Amino acid sequence: MPTQIKFGTSGWRAIMAEDFTFANVRRAVSGIARYVASQKPTGAHIIVGRDPRFLGETFCAMASEILVAHGITPLLVAAAPTPAISYAVTCECADGAINFTASHNPPEYNGIKFSTSDGAPALPEVTQRIEAEIAAFDAGGAAKAGSTKPQPQSLDPRGPYLARLREIVDLSIIRKAGLRVVFDPFWGAGCGYPDSLLREAGVEVAAVHDYRDVLFGGHAPEPDDHLLNDLRSQMRKNNAHIGIATDGDADRFGIVDQDGTFFQPNYIIALLFDYLVETRGWKNGVGKSVATTNLINALAEHHHIPLHETPVGFKYIGELIKQDKIVIGGEESAGLSIRQHVPEKDGILAGLLCCEMVARRNQPLKHQLDALFVKVGSFYPMRENFRLTPEVKAKFTGKLALNPRDFCGRKVKEVVRTDGLKLLCDDGSWVCYRLSGTEPVVRVYTEAGSVQELERMSAAAKQWIFE
């Protein structure tokens, strides 16, 4: 029986030569092609892109052949950031994009992201249709090709995307401030994007890991604290004011302050929200996933701005951006975008906006966060993953249906089921449980007003799983 291909919060991902095989890629792309052809029987164009992973060129060529067989014109892109591909969809009026990337996952993984004609990640109703088309293909359904076969075309999304970033980011402020920046693309698709833009503007910038390595240095291309030591080392050499990093497809970001401190994405999203309200004057709303810091809730209340809390998955934030309902939208897993930009995570934009914020305010991020805490109170968030045995998972799944009246010695004032189970306590602390759909893991998010209270919440959260 064929492997079931399921599109999750950000496409389909699997280990190469295990589930991510040539045969399964053909099935997945055929399902996408059948879906697109059902929506637009003639004249459809689909962008086909990738990150720099192993066999990316081969997968793109395979996808191109399948699309042509379905009467769809492929627009072939070399290794490029996911946000650049997203922007190209709208610039080219394409009918979507197939992007071969496993984002921040380890090098043995690959994946497929499908974006719709608005450049946004496909919503569940679309991915369910694609999964149904994969099943129809498996059952022997023939390609519904047109009378003529289109010719693949080449596309370079770099120029238009960088031009858009020049419109959004005040590069002159960064230059005038004399900011020194170090960039780490983690051998990924972001190579040569923000650093070239800054260099062109006259900003002193250095880069590490700015070449292709399909093994990503032997670890996941994830801009997380424990993997940023080479960035920190270069920052010390250059006496840099800020370090910015992106993951394998440059949709996620990592930010390091002047003193080498890693700033977790929760805080970056909050800081940029406050900064954009201050400098752009936008007040239409703010979007965040249910697992993202309530510091954003406090800032929304402070600025009298509507708050939108979504399930986990950037596609939901993307919908708010498309509807122009938010200044900024973000997730604690290092994804954000802003008003009038792509409805997709953009790690390059996040890094450049942080550079602008540090330059304009003439303060390291630590001082800016301290000021934010003075303004609206302190918030200390944490995320942990716990593996579950089948027995523990079965018991815990049942507990997720409960409505606890107290937690960690505090009264539960609200139970939120937007995504998983979130318990809001009367002192502002909270815990959120989300079961993974792909592995026996529960993701636990906690937040409190002090480090000590966070430790207590974290311990109670773990105990609640296993008791």
pLDDT band at 237 (very low <50, low <70, confident <90, very high): very high
Instruction: Give the tokens for residue 229.
Output: 């030591």
pLDDT digits (tens, 9 = 90+) for 126-152: 999 999 999 999 998 666 655 678 999
pLDDT digits (tens, 9 = 90+) for 158-173: 999 999 999 999 999 9
Other CB atoms within 10 A of residue 279 CB: 15
- CA-to-CA distance for 62 and 58, rounded, in angstroms? 6
Taking alpha carbons only, the member of 137, 144, 172, 102 closest to residue 28 is 137
Q: Does pLDDT of 181 surpass 60?
A: yes
- Residue-averaged pLDDT of the chain: 96
- CA-to-CA distance for 291 and 422, rounded, in angstroms? 8
pLDDT at position 467, please?
Answer: 85
pLDDT at position 201, please?
Answer: 97
pLDDT digits (tens, 9 = 90+) for 245-269: 999 999 999 999 999 999 999 999 9
- CA-to-CA distance for 195 and 14, rounded, in angstroms? 31
Domains in the chain (CATH in brackets) are: 12-156 (3.40.120.10), 160-376 (3.40.120.10), 380-466 (3.30.310.50)
More confident residue, 63 or 10: 63
Cβ contacts of residue 59 below 8 Å, gap of 6+? 25, 50, 100, 110
pTM (two decimals): 0.96
Instruction: Give the tokens for residue 65.
Output: 């052949």
The amino acid sitting at 141 is G
pLDDT at position 207, please?
Answer: 98
Give the angle subtended at the CA of 294 by the CAs of 300 and 277, to the nearest 5°: 30
- CA-to-CA distance for 155 and 48, rounded, in angstroms? 9
Q: Does pLDDT of 307 surpass 90?
A: yes
Backbone angles phi, psi at 406, to 5 degrees: -145, 160
Asked if 362 and 371 count as a contact pair (C-beta separation under 8 A), the reply is no
Q: What does the chain come to in residues?
A: 467
Asked if 318 and 121 count as a contact pair (C-beta separation under 8 A), the reply is yes
Backbone angles phi, psi at 183, to 5 degrees: -120, 135
Asked if 132 and 123 count as a contact pair (C-beta separation under 8 A), the reply is no
- CA-to-CA distance for 180 and 243, rounded, in angstroms? 9
What is the layout of strands, in order, in the sheet containing 335-338? 307-310, 286-289, 328-331, 335-338
Cβ contacts of residue 460 below 8 Å, gap of 6+? 407, 408, 431
The amino acid sitting at 29 is V
Asked if 436 and 442 count as a contact pair (C-beta separation under 8 A), the reply is yes
- CA-to-CA distance for 409 and 6, rounded, in angstroms? 40
pLDDT digits (tens, 9 = 90+) for 349-398: 999 999 999 999 999 999 999 999 999 999 999 999 999 999 999 999 99
Other CB atoms within 10 A of residue 454 CB: 18
Which 8-state DSSP code applies to residue 226? G
pLDDT at position 70, please?
Answer: 95
pLDDT band at 436 (very low <50, low <70, confident <90, very high): confident
- CA-to-CA distance for 6 and 13, rounded, in angstroms? 9
Cβ contacts of residue 161 below 8 Å, gap of 6+? 81, 83, 84, 87, 88, 193
For the chain, give the percent of residues with pLDDT over 90.
Answer: 94
